[in-house]
Amino acid sequence: MQEIEMEIEELAIQLSDMLNAALFFAGVRKENLKKAVDIYLDSIDEIFDDDDDSEMGLDEIIIVINHMKRKNPELFNG
C-alpha cells in the first residue's frame, strides 16, 4: 500500500511539473508560474462550472490556457 502511495505522489509531482512546463511554453514568465498554476486551477472551475463529469483532455487544457491569456495577459510574455 505504501508503494502505491509513493507512486501516486511521484505522478502528482510529474503532473505539476508538466503543467508548469505547459504554462511556460504557452508564454507564462517563470516568475509568474506559481500564480499561473493557481489561476489555471481556478479557471477550470470557472470555465467548466465545477462539472466533475468533464474530463480534461488536450482540447480542454488549450481552452483553459487561452482563457487565462485573455483574462490575465500580465502573466504572459508580451
Q: What is the pLDDT of residues 42-74, one digit of tens each?
A: 999 999 986 666 688 999 999 999 999 999 999
Whole-number average pLDDT of the chain: 93
The burial of 39, by beta-carbon neighbours within 10 Å (0-12 exposed, 13-18 middle, 19 or more buried), is given as buried
From the list 32, 12, 27, 33, the residue with the least C-alpha distance to 66 is: 27
From the list 8, 6, 7, 32, the residue with the least C-alpha distance to 20 is: 32
> 23 with 40: CB under 8 angstroms?
yes
> 13 with 34: CB under 8 angstroms?
no
**Rounded CA gap, 49 and 10, in Å?**
29
Confidence (pTM): 0.86
**How much is the average pLDDT of 7-19?**
96
What is the predicted pLDDT for the residue at 55?
84
Work out the pLDDT band at 31, boundaries 50, 70, 90.
Answer: very high
